[in-house]
């Protein structure tokens, strides 16, 4: 058989990839009953509506202190959940990583639990935890805690294996005990990475906390929800502005810290 030249083959396989994607997309549009025409017409409508109504006005500025108070709650909750969850995850990761594990089965168990925790979405966690903690801050705190914990166990296991394998081996060769190895080698060498990941999770958690707040009635998400449902769009847009500014500020701070530490 005549063999196609390299470029024709490449072009054909790329073409096939595009065709498969288009067919899949079309099938999904039919299956989800997504209205493409309505989708397109909604964009200019949304822009027109937003420019006419969706900006903070003088009356909404009076609500700024209340909004800032709610923002404080959300930021504090994000920091607290990220910090405590990372602390717990670090110990589990030490027991679960290949370099420092005590026992293979424990390692498998640690990874398994972490997989379950991070793969249940934060909104699903919030809905589950509503059964135990009702509409209190604990619901949001634990929802963020579980997801952060699952994520951190995974990345910290990778970090420990990456950063401290050599130094652990060296210390082991000198006859150092398990806890000495952890305290003198694993913790110091992983700390910068750990802090960097905590900062990343704080950024993520602030966004998730807004969503959780809508579901559980707490924090900045709840403020938005109230103004949105009472059609007070000026105040709702102010909430968004406040969220954007705080996300920018926290990203700037954590980038600074990261650059200094790593």
Partner 1 sequence: MQSTTKIILRPWNAATLILRTTIISLIVITGYAFTTFNTRGVDFWAGVDMLGSNFQALLLSPQLKNITFVTMVHNLFITIGLGFLTTIFGAAIALGFALLAAQNLAPRWLTVIIKGLTAFIRAVPTVLWVLIFAVSAGLGSVAAVLGMTFHSAGYLIKAYAESFEEIDHGTIEALKASGANWWQIVFQAVLPSSATALLSWTFLRFEINFSTAIAMGAAAGAGGIGYDMFMASGYYLNLHEMGAFTYAVLAFAIVLEAGATRYKASLSK
Residue 260 CB, nearest distance to partner 1 (Å)? 4
Query: What is the spatial distance between Cα 250 and Cα 200, in angstroms, rounded to a whole number?
Result: 10
Calculated CA dihedral for residues 233, 238, 242, 244, nearest 10 degrees: 60
By CB under 8 A, residue 134 contacts partner 1: yes
Query: Which residues in 232-251 contact partner 1 (CB under 8 A)?
Result: 233, 240, 243-244, 247-248
Query: Which residues in 190-229 contact partner 1 (CB under 8 A)?
Result: 191-192, 195, 198-199, 207-208, 210-211, 214-215, 218, 221, 224, 228
Sign of CA dihedral 195, 201, 203, 205: negative
Binds partner 1 by CB under 8 A, chosen from 72, 91, 169, 170: 72
Binds partner 1 by CB under 8 A, chosen from 1, 13, 51, 131: 131
- Number of residues counted as binding partner 1 (CB under 8 A): 74
Helix (H, G, I), strand (E, B) or coil at 54: coil
DSSP structure class, residue 2: P
Residue 54 CB, nearest distance to partner 1 (Å)? 7
Of 102 and 108, which CB lies nearer to partner 1 in the complex structure? Answer: 108
Of 96 and 221, which CB lies nearer to partner 1 in the complex structure? Answer: 221
Binds partner 1 by CB under 8 A, chosen from 9, 132, 180, 255: 132
Q: H-type helices in the chain, by residue range?
A: 6-31, 36-53, 58-61, 64-96, 104-119, 122-133, 137-163, 165-173, 178-181, 187-216, 219-229, 233-261
Query: What is the spatial distance between Cα 191 and Cα 196, in angstroms, rounded to a whole number?
Result: 9
Query: Phi and psi of 56, rounded to 5°?
Result: -70, 135
Residue 80 CB, nearest distance to partner 1 (Å)? 4
By CB under 8 A, residue 230 contacts partner 1: no
Query: Which residues in 147-186 contact partner 1 (CB under 8 A)?
Result: none
Residue whose tokens read 């652990």: 168
Query: Which residues in 41-60 contact partner 1 (CB under 8 A)?
Result: 42-43, 45-46, 48-50, 54
């Amino acid at each position: 058989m005549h063999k196609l030249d390299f470029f024709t083959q490449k072009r054909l396989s790329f073409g096939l990839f595009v065709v498969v994607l288009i067919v899949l997309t079309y099938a999904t549009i039919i299956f989800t009953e997504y209205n493409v025409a309505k989708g397109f017409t909604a964009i200019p409508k949304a822009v027109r509506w937003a420019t006419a109504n969706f900006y903070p006005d003088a009356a909404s500025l009076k609500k700024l202190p209340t909004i800032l108070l709610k923002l404080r709650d959300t930021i504090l909750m994000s920091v607290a959940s990220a910090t405590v969850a990372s602390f717990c995850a670090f110990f589990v990761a030490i027991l679960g990583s290949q370099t420092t594990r005590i026992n293979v089965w424990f390692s498998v168990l640690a990874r398994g639990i972490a997989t379950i925790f991070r793969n249940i979405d934060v909104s699903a966690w919030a809905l589950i935890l509503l059964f135990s903690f009702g509409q209190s801050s604990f619901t949001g705190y634990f929802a963020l805690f579980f997801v952060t914990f699952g994520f951190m166990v995974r990345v910290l296991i990778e970090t420990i294996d990456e950063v401290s394998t050599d130094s652990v081996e060296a210390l082991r060769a000198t006859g150092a005990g398990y806890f000495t190895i952890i305290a003198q080698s694993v913790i110091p060498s992983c700390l910068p990475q750990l802090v960097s990941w905590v900062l990343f999770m704080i950024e993520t958690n602030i966004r998730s906390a807004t969503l959780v707040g809508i579901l559980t009635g707490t924090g900045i998400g709840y403020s938005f929800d109230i103004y949105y449902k009472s059609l007070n769009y000026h105040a709702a847009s102010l909430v968004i502005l406040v969220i954007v500014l705080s996300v920018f500020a926290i990203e700037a701070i954590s980038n600074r810290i990261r650059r200094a530490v790593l």
